[in-house]
Amino acid sequence: MSDFPSVLHYSTGFPLVIGLHHVENYKKIKVSDEGAKLTVLTKSGYEVTGFGVVHGYHHYFITTRPRCMFDKDSFYWDAMNSRGYGNLEFEVGYKKYRKVPFQLLLDGSSPYPFPQKEGLDSAKDIIHAEIQESEFGFPNRVVLKTKSGVFGFFLEPDFLHYISVDDQEFPNILDFKVEYIGISTGETGNRDFGDRLWNHEKVREVSGIIQRDSPNLQVYVFGFSAKYVVEPRPGGFIHNSGILEAKIGKHNAAKVLEAGLIKYFQPRYNDEFKSFLDEEHPSWLETIREILVPSWERGNRPAFLSITVASDGRFNTAGAWTFGRFYTEHLAPVDTTSFLLDLGCK
């Protein structure tokens, strides 16, 4: 009997990232077409532009990293090259701060498209840029001045992906600690993580505990639109089969990836699935095993769950853009996490 493995591959794809303190703004953004830009006006009169929440973002990570603000006095704008320079100040502990050099790249070298608004079509329109404080005195906004007018952007979420940080002195300062992993499909697969983010009690509970006990940390939510491929024979990939949804339902198909992620990362605020495959054997597990290695083929043939998860939405060459890596108390930070779980078919 052959002993080659059968593998269920899951890939999270690149995420949508939202700073949790901007939930009030993003509540107004409806589910949109992928790539559609949407703008909302906050109560304080500032415009927030984003790319919307798209259908299919069913898995999410609640993560943390030190809160950061601009060092206002250090910032200057190079209009010739469409770049800003200065320091970000990270709050790494109680009354403990680290200043880290950064560049605000609006010259096209960021992997993201220029953040256009009506009257602001490209970086060439920018005459001057400066840092402004919020109404509470926090230097977390960039004002771009053009011939057409003045345009305001938040450090987060507007410019989160346009800032390149020199992290040589503090190489882990950009990394995201995974605190909780969840899904948001609903029982019939008809919800996305945007719905869950606004309404789920667990999200509010976890973020409330973090902000109460560690007020120096900023909470970020990563939403993933995951895909799977079945590889019953080495190199024999089956795409878009829909077999998991047909056999165990959409909700449980999402649970498979959730269980694998929680088992691997062991996030602090998760309980279910931390002992997946050891003590926890969900009702759908035997069906997954049967899909990968039918009972009549059992013997020495293994079945694996393969998962790849990425922490940012870069579309450029590897190493050209640093955004932040995932880690927990159990795992060191890595750019892209890939791992195998033995589903126990042998």
Q: pLDDT digit string (tens) for 171-188? A: 888 889 999 998 876 555
More confident residue, 174 or 51: 174
Vertex 13: Cα angle to 268 and 109 (nearest 5): 105
pLDDT band for 317, please (50, 70, 90 cuts). Answer: very low
Over residues 144-159, the mean pLDDT reads: 84
Report the pLDDT value the prediction gives residue 211, as an integer from 0 to 100.
81
The predicted-structure confidence for 169-228, as pLDDT tens digits, reads as follows: 888 888 899 999 988 765 555 555 556 566 667 777 888 888 888 889 888 888 888 889
The predicted-structure confidence for 93-132, as pLDDT tens digits, reads as follows: 988 999 999 999 898 887 777 887 778 888 888 999 999 9
pTM of the model: 0.83
* CA–CA distance, 61 with 178 (Å, rounded to integer): 6
How many C-beta atoms lie closer than 10 Å to residue 181's C-beta?
A: 26
Going edge to edge, which strands form the sheet with 141-146?
Answer: 126-132, 141-146, 150-154
* CA–CA distance, 8 with 289 (Å, rounded to integer): 10
Report the pLDDT value the prediction gives residue 192, as an integer from 0 to 100.
54
pLDDT band for 346, please (50, 70, 90 cuts). Answer: low
Pairing of strands 31-32, 53-54: parallel
Cα-based distances in Å from 55 to 33, 184, 195, 242, 334: 8, 11, 10, 17, 28
Phi-psi region of 149 (alpha: psi -120 to 50; beta: other; left: phi over 0): left
Over residues 299-324, the mean pLDDT reads: 71
Q: Which residues face 38 on adjacent strands?
A: 50
Average model confidence (pLDDT) across the chain: 81
Tokens describing residue 309? 């998860």
User: What is the torsion angle, in degrees rounded to the nearest 10, for the CA atoms of residue 16, residue 17, residue 22 and residue 27?
Assistant: 20
